[in-house]
Amino acid sequence: MSIENEIVGLVLERIVSALRGGISAKSAKDAVYFFVDVVMEFKDGKVLLRSGYGENRVATVLNGGIFEGGESVVVIRTANGELWAYFPFGVGTIIRQKLFTLRDTYILSFIDDSGSMDLDIPAIETMLAQFRETINKTIYGGSEAKISQYFPPTQKMQDERFVRWMASPPADGSTGRYAIVTLNFINESHNVYGETKRWVPDTAMTPEFLEDVALLKEESKLRSMQRHMVFNVLRAPDWNYGAFLLDAADYLKDYYFQPLDVPPDKPADYYIELVDKAVREWQSE
């Protein structure tokens, strides 16, 4: 066992010991050296969490609080499915971070590589690789099998039909209800969905667009949760693709569609911040 895992195990043991003792939050902070911004109790062999809620939230500790491979994290799951992760920094302070429950959620990414975004693709690919690594460490404990199933490699597309991308089923071919997030990067669709260079608000959508919306509607019957981010890279702002996406949002409002205009030549960190902000907003819904 690595020293990091030993530290996590020690901290977890001390937290549970403090909770069993029924001591106050202040005493727990002094005894365990962690920020008690969530009032916790230990009752009937389970950890109870309360944080601004009237009801107790029964939580379980995932994997004994220890993840092999990558950064060690103490993770507990509350009764309503939320994940709470405690990242150790030395033997002392633990920082609490509330995580959106992306466990067993398919994350599919699509990039338009028809040519107009070539200069921006390297930064996008770097961001996706970093995001994938973070999900693997914090959610799947470094499991290559799990991350390959739920966060498969990015698909390079030239059909520019991003609504059809959003309608994609699980990449592993599994059936039944599932949760999905799609990350889509595009900056125009030629005449497939509408004339992007001269788009006029409230212009009629093409038959191809309506066909893909119908496909999305049908696939949505199998989805327990879905979120779709469409990044409009403004490499050619005269195409006014943002106006088209705002019109498209009226047709896609029931599918958690979120269009974002992104300036060109932005680094990977810029995209990471946008995704992180979106995930935090999903948590509050």
Which residue, of 99, 114, 133, is where some domain finishes? Answer: 99
Q: Which pLDDT score, from 0 to 100, does residue 238 have?
A: 84
Residue scoring higher pLDDT (187 or 72): 187
Average pLDDT over residues 38-48: 53
Q: Of 69, 99, 129, which residue constitutes the final position of a domain? A: 99
CB 226 within 8 A of CB 183: no
Q: 110 and 219: one domain?
A: yes
Same domain for 112 and 158, yes or no, is yes
Angle 148-106-154 from CA coordinates, rounded to 5°? 60
Same domain, 279 and 147: yes
* Domain extent for 55: 3-99
Residue that the structure tokens 């990242």 belong to: 87
pLDDT confidence bin for 22, thresholds 50/70/90: low
Domain count, the chain: 2
Residue 95 has pLDDT above 80, yes or no: no
Higher pLDDT, 208 or 71: 208
Mean per-residue pLDDT, 75-96: 48
Inform me whether the pLDDT recorded for 175 exceeds 70.
yes
The reply to whether 26 and 123 lie within a common domain is no
Note whether 35 and 96 are within 8 A (CB). Answer: yes
250 and 109 inside one domain: yes
Amino acid 78: pLDDT: 54
Indicate whether 112 and 238 sit together in one domain: yes
Query: What is the band of 10 on the pLDDT scale with cuts at 50, 70, 90?
Result: low
Q: Are residues 154 and 92 located together in one domain of the fold?
A: no
Domain end position, chosen among 63, 79, 99:
99
Same-domain status, 151 and 95? no
Q: Whole-prediction pTM value?
A: 0.70
Same domain, 111 and 92: no
What average pLDDT does the segment 165-187 reach?
92
